[in-house]
Amino acid sequence: MTSEGTSLTSKEELNAELKALLRRAYESGIDVEGGFECRNGVEHPDWDVIVTEVEKNEHSE
């Protein structure tokens, strides 16, 4: 997982970071499904993140 000082340069890197975060949370017993408000102060935009579990397909990792 990157720190705030490490830049992400692609959507693929962002996806990898999100996947790692969600896996760590799930493995720690945290219910990761639902909505999360990300308030970031005046210098960054705020986001609303929705996480839903999806069915695995034959191409799942």
pTM: 0.75
Read off the pLDDT of residues 1-29 as tens digits, 9 standing for 90 and up.
Answer: 555 667 899 999 999 999 999 999 999 99
Write down the mean pLDDT value for the chain: 90
**Rounded-to-integer distance, Cα 57 and Cα 61, Å:** 9
- Helix/strand/coil (H/E/C) assignment for every residue in 26-46: HHCCCCCCEEEEECCCCCCCC
Q: Which pLDDT value is given to residue 60?
A: 67
Domain residue ranges in the chain = 33-60
Model confidence at 59: pLDDT above 80: no
